[in-house]
Structure formats: structure tokens, C-alpha cells
Amino acid sequence: MTLEELNESCKKCDKCRLRKGATQVVPGAGSEHAEIMFIGEGPGETEDKQGLPFVGAAGRFLNELLKSINLNREDVYIANMVKCRPPGNRDPQEDEIQACKGWLNQQIKVIQPKIFVPLGRFAMYKFLKGTSISKEHGKIYSRSGKVYFVMYHPAVALYNGAMRPILLEDIKKLRLFLDGKLDAQSLNDTVSKIISEKETLKKEQNKNQGNKDSSQFKMTI
Ligand code: SF4
């Protein structure tokens, strides 16, 4: 199946409640041969109207970020965790992400990107569960020939101008990596470190309060 065929099928989806409130399904945009895939949360108002991802104010900042490292939208693929706009731009809910994940997984299968750039915590959780974006942003990990580079969602810079330089600084690391000037950390090492940190925390919590910490760090694809 080509990416176009896949996205045409996606446009007909009405598997979850989000379709009801959306003008249209927004599968994604960019090159079928992209080596880098950016993954956001879900379409906003402008994206819902135009049928394209990241074309509103956050999208303009994403364009600026790409340009700052000599990339443009045609070089990459841009998709979202959920393909229909959550009402009022609320966060996507877990059952909606689960309902929609098959489309993203199929896009990944067709495009086979080498580098994944989750934008924001919802997209980060697809790859790195059990950790926080404030800890992981700007870091590059590798696992099984794939690379993961975590970034804040560009929309955060719209609400908080102090985040702009952080995102601009973070994305420079992606350029350094593309130029072979920065190595990716092994995700396996990171997984072990986070699991060990969580186990220590869990022991301390159990000791102090008798509570259990059920969170886990998981690699999900
Ligand atoms: S959000 Fe995803 S699963 Fe839900 S209707 Fe839209 S395309 Fe289908």
C-alpha cells in the first residue's frame, strides 16, 4: 500500500468520537521517503479546516525550527497521534490515542523513518513511557537502528515566549546528529537507568508510605 492509499483510507475513518466534532481527518503531510518523522498530538482549528498538520501558529514555529537547521517540510514527514481535532483543542484522551494508533503505526511502516521526533509529551509517551518531557527534551536516543529525538511541542512557545530559545537550542542537536557531530545515547542504557531510578523511588515510597508506584518505562514500538 502506498502512503497516499493509506492516507485516503484514513480520511474515511470514523472509529472514535473525535471524528464527530472534526471537519475532516488530517492524516499527515510530507515525503513518503522521509528519514525524519515529526509526530505531534492532534490537529488544531486551522489544521482541521485545511486538512493539513501544523499549518497554524504552532506550525509556523515548526517551520522556523526546521529552517533553523536547514530542513523544510518537504524533507520530513509530519503526523499526529490522533488524526481528528479534539474539541476545543483539548488533550487527546487515552482511548482516542489507542483507537487512532493503528493509522500512525501504518504510516511508520510505509515511510520507515530512521529518526522519530515526538513533539510534546503525548507523542513522547508512544516511545518513552514513564518519564517526563522536561527531563527528556533535546536528547537523542538510539535503539535497534532507529533514533528518537524528543522535543517540546512548538505550541508551548506560543503560550510561553521563554520556551522559544529552548526549542531553537534543542533542535540544533538534531542538526549536529545529522551532520555526524553528535552520537545518540543508547536507549537501552536509559531504560535501565530510569527503571532503576523508579525502583529506588518505589522502594522509598513503599518504605515511607506503604504506597505502590505502578508506573513503568516501556518501549512500545
Ligand atoms: S481520531 Fe483517528 S481513530 Fe478517531 S476517527 Fe479520527 S482517524 Fe479515526
Question: 44, 58 in Cβ contact below 8 A?
Answer: yes
Q: Is the pLDDT of residue 166 over 80?
A: yes
> Backbone dihedral region of 138: left (phi > 0), alpha (psi from -120 to 50 degrees) or beta?
left
Q: Which atom of ligand 1 is nearest to the CA of 13?
A: 8
Question: 96, 110 in Cβ contact below 8 A?
Answer: no
Residue 211, in any domain of the structure: no
Q: What is the DSSP letter of 12?
A: T
Residue 208, in any domain of the structure: no
Residue 74, in any domain of the structure: yes
Q: Is the pLDDT of residue 188 over 80?
A: no
Determine which of 25-39, 45-59, 63-77, 201-215 has the lowest per-residue pLDDT on average.
Answer: 201-215
Residue 212, in any domain of the structure: no
Q: Is the pLDDT of residue 192 over 60?
A: no
Residue 80, in any domain of the structure: yes
Q: Which residues contact ligand 1 via a Cβ below 6 A?
A: 10, 13-16, 18-19, 25, 82-84, 96, 99-100, 103
Using DSSP bridges, classify how beta strands 36-40 and 115-118 pair: parallel, antiparallel or unpaired: parallel
Q: How would residue 194 be classed by pLDDT, with cut points 50, 70 and 90?
A: low
- Full residue range of the structural domain in which residue 97 is found: 3-186
- The model's pLDDT over 97-130, given as tens digits with 9 standing for 90+, comes to 999 999 999 999 999 999 999 999 999 999 888 7
Residue 195, in any domain of the structure: no
Residue 219, in any domain of the structure: no
Q: Which atom of ligand 1 is nearest to the CA of 27?
A: 7
Instruction: Quote the CA–CA distance of 137 and 211 in Å, as a whole number.
Output: 29
Q: Whose CA is nearest to atom 3 of ligand 1?
A: 100
- In CATH, what number is assigned to the domain containing residue 163? 3.40.470.10
pLDDT of residue 215: 46
* Strand ranges across the sheet with 77-80: 28-30, 77-80, 36-40, 115-118, 146-149, 140-143, 185-186
Instruction: Quote the CA–CA distance of 125 and 163 in Å, as a whole number.
Output: 21
Residue 207, in any domain of the structure: no
- pTM for the whole thing? 0.87
- Look at the chain and report how many structural domains it folds into: 1
Q: Which atom of ligand 1 is nearest to the CA of 92?
A: 1
Q: How far is CA 122 from the centre of its chain?
A: 7
CB neighbours (10 Å) of residue 116?
A: 21
pLDDT of residue 209: 67
Three-state DSSP state, 140: strand
Please, which residues bridge with residue 28 across strands? 79
pLDDT of residue 143: 83
